Amino acid sequence: MEYVHYSVMKEEVKHYLVPPLDRPSVMVDCTTGEGGHTHMMLSEYPNLKVYGLDCDIHIQEKAKTRMKEFGDRFIPVHTWFNDYFDDYQGEKVDLVLFDLGISIFHYAESDRGFSFKKEEKLDMRLNDESTLTAAMVVNSYSEEDLANVIYKYGEERYSRRIAKAICERRTEKEIETSSDLEDIIFKSVPATYKHGRIHPATRSFQALRIEVNKELDRIEPALRGAVKALNPGGRIAVITFHSLEDRIVKWTFKDLAKKCTCPPEQLQCTCGGKAAIKILTKKPLVASDDENKMNPPSRSAKLRVIEKL
């Protein structure tokens, strides 16, 4: 089987995520995808077992095939990562990895309309069990709601123009495919924006994907749940690909690393609070120049790591 995804910042993940070597240890890969990171960890540590989560059952099949050589040291779980940690009662965990977003598999092979370079049905669901599709968003949201989604999750400065163009087009005919949507967006933006650094549909497609899968809403509860599931000394590494994700990770970790939770106007601490975690990367790590040359999307990757106290 061919694996199309390039796993980012593998060396840095390997450096920070070292399991205890004197006993059986447990890792949760919250975003297993095709399993590049998980394969590296299972190959490196014979006493490690990995719970490999993914909300996408199709990509999980690829990971299962890839991980066959490790037998029952790889346990696939089809779930959203926030659901997995909600009221978690499983065994204590030593290492957790989040490699957020989607895989090259989704653009190249999933046939779900993630790429504006292809003619595919506008679906964008990562999980077949979800009901909202990208086609439903573009054909049923009000112009104002659409503009807000594109602005908030795509940080797209032409969100209003794009939303207006979508709503005008859909009065003639339902918008069904990724290339229909790309065409509407391309025609709606100013000429100077059409041939800029990124394709003018990039941000809107990202926004729709985030809206359909509620991607940002899942991060903070999953991080808090993962911290609870960790053994003391256990670590969480998170790789993000845009500022919207990174901001959530940064502030959630800052909050968990705070000792006192008294209101700021209170002069003396009465909560006796203890920090739950220590932040190991004061500034996020970025990929090396060599990696960026080999895999340009690594340029936007940021890695943050914490340790449970």
Can residue 125 be called a binding residue for ligand SAM (CB under 6 A)? no
Query: Interface with ligand SAM by CB under 6 A: which range of 31-39, 44-52, 199-207, 261-269?
Result: 31-39
Can residue 80 be called a binding residue for ligand SAM (CB under 6 A)? yes
Can residue 66 be called a binding residue for ligand SAM (CB under 6 A)? no
Can residue 56 be called a binding residue for ligand SAM (CB under 6 A)? yes
Query: Interface with ligand SAM by CB under 6 A: which range of 32-40, 109-117, 183-191, 289-297?
Result: 32-40
Size of the site for ligand SAM (CB under 6 A): 21
Can residue 291 be called a binding residue for ligand SAM (CB under 6 A)? no
Residue 280: other Cβ atoms inside 10 A: 15
Rounded least distance, CB 237 to ligand SAM, Å: 11
Which residues inside 248-287 make contact with ligand SAM, applying CB under 6 A? none
Can residue 7 be called a binding residue for ligand SAM (CB under 6 A)? yes
Q: Which amino acid is at 49?
A: K
User: What is the DSSP secondary-structure string of 203-258?
Assistant: HHHHHHHHHHHTTGGGHHHHHHHHHHHEEEEEEEEEEESSHHHHHHHHHHHHHHT-
User: What is the DSSP secondary-structure string of 15-47?
Assistant: HH----SSS-EEEEETT-TT-HHHHHHHHH-TT
Select 126 or 163, whichever has its Cβ closest to ligand SAM. Answer: 126
Select 167 or 301, whichever has its Cβ closest to ligand SAM. Answer: 301
CB burial readout 167-199, b (16+ within 10 A) else e: bebeeeeebbebbbbbbbbbebbeeeeeeeeeb
Paired with 97 in beta bridges are 29, 237
Rounded least distance, CB 279 to ligand SAM, Å: 22
Tokens of 187: 């025609």
Rounded least distance, CB 144 to ligand SAM, Å: 27
Which residues inside 143-182 make contact with ligand SAM, applying CB under 6 A? none
Rounded least distance, CB 11 to ligand SAM, Å: 13
Query: Interface with ligand SAM by CB under 6 A: which range of 96-104, 245-253, 288-296, 300-308?
Result: 96-104
Can residue 55 be called a binding residue for ligand SAM (CB under 6 A)? yes
* DSSP conformation class of 200: T
Q: Where are the alpha helices (DSSP H) in the chain?
A: 10-16, 36-44, 57-66, 81-85, 104-108, 134-140, 143-154, 159-172, 178-188, 191-194, 202-213, 219-229, 243-256, 289-294
Binding residue for ligand SAM, selected from 16, 17, 25, 37, defined by CB under 6 A:
37
Select 169 or 235, whichever has its Cβ closest to ligand SAM. Answer: 235
Binding residue for ligand SAM, selected from 12, 34, 94, 291, defined by CB under 6 A:
34
Q: Residue 65 — left, alpha, or beta (φ > 0 → left; ψ -120 to 50 → alpha)? A: alpha
- Return the closest-CA partner of residue 157 out of 124, 185, 115: 185
Can residue 103 be called a binding residue for ligand SAM (CB under 6 A)? yes
Binding site for ligand SAM (CB under 6 A): 5, 7, 31, 33-37, 53-56, 59, 80-81, 99, 101-103, 126, 218
